[in-house]
């Protein structure tokens, strides 16, 4: 976990039950879920294997160990998890170095949360080296802390990353709003006891208790997030 703006962690939204907003990265703030799949296809093609497009829904939103491990097993590729991890991260860094499109509404939402002093964390299954590269485009000043997938013993779909982020912001998970784009991320946030806004990117996500589905971040603003909780 990396803290970038410690002072924000002591702030709360006065008069609101909302204590913090925790955001996923890939597919939620930056339009990169497709990048990961393209890189996986290219890397495994280099190893002589063709990925079945149906596997995309299996690996989306998950930690590198799970997604890469699944693809190695499914293809029978003669490569270790450590070796494939390096190739995938290298390929992804190359792609985001060329272009890094933000999701519609992402920049506006981050600016709004910062303007109102809402403690905010970036919580991703991506590795620290990837998060730090993406932050240069997103703006590190918008996040009081960031949690990477290779910094927790159990990453998504386990609740650990969101529990760690809430604790780092001195917030009650039950008074945190999480924004996620995959079922894996939603499962992690809900297991942590947070209220979830799902913005599905690759696969649909069904509505549920304490879960709100929207089609775009353009539908999400501070009043919307505060409305998820009651004082």
- Kindly report, residue by residue over 181-220, the tens digit of the pLDDT: 999 999 999 999 999 999 998 889 998 988 999 999 999 9
- Lowest mean pLDDT, pick from 5-19, 39-53, 103-117: 5-19
Question: Among residues of the chain, what percentage have pLDDT more than 90?
Answer: 71
Query: pLDDT tens-digit profile of 32-49?
Result: 878 888 999 999 999 999
Beta bridge partners of 30: 26, 102
Question: In terms of DSSP H, where are the helices of 99-214?
Answer: 106-115, 128-138, 160-168, 183-191
- Tell me phi and psi for residue 81, to 5 degrees: -60, -40
| 139: three-class secondary structure by DSSP | coil
Question: Among residues of the chain, what percentage have pLDDT more than 70?
Answer: 93
Contact assessment for residue 169 and residue 20, using Cβ atoms and an 8 Å cutoff: yes
Q: At 13, is the pLDDT very low, low, confident or very high (cuts 50, 70, 90)?
A: very low
Q: At 63, is the pLDDT very low, low, confident or very high (cuts 50, 70, 90)?
A: confident
Q: What is the mean pLDDT of residues 164-186?
A: 97
Give the helix/strand (H/E) hosting 123. strand 120-123
Around Cβ 93, how many Cβ atoms within 10 Å?
A: 14
- 231 pLDDT higher than 60: no
Query: pLDDT tens-digit profile of 127-157?
Result: 999 999 999 989 999 999 999 999 999 999 9
Compute the distance between CA of residue 163 and CA of residue 63 in angstroms, rounded to an integer: 17
Alpha-carbon distances of 135 from 26, 33, 143, rounded to whole Å: 12, 16, 9
């Amino acid at each position: 976990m990396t803290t970038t703006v410690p002072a924000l962690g002591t702030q709360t939204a006065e008069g609101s039950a909302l204590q913090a907003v925790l955001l996923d990265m890939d597919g939620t703030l930056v339009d990169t879920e497709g990048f990961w799949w393209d890189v996986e296809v290219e890397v495994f093609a280099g190893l002589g294997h063709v990925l079945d497009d149906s596997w995309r829904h299996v690996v989306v939103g998950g930690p590198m160990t799970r997604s890469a491990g699944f693809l190695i097993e499914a293809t029978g590729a003669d490569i270790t998890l450590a070796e494939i991890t390096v190739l995938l991260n290298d390929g992804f860094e190359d792609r985001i170095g060329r272009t890094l499109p933000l999701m519609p509404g992402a920049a506006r939402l981050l600016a709004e949360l910062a303007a109102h002093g809402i403690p905010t964390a970036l919580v991703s299954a991506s590795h620290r080296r990837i998060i730090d590269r993406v932050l240069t485009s997103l703006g590190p000043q918008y996040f009081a802390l960031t949690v990477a997938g290779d910094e927790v013993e159990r990453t998504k779909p386990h609740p650990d990353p969101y529990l760690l982020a809430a604790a780092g912001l001195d917030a009650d998970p039950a008074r945190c709003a999480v924004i996620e784009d995959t079922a894996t991320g939603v499962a992690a946030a809900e297991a942590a006891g947070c209220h979830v806004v799902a913005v599905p990117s690759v696969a649909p996500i069904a509505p549920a208790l304490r879960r709100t589905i929207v089609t775009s971040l353009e539908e999400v603003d501070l009043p919307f997030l505060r409305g998820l909780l009651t004082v």
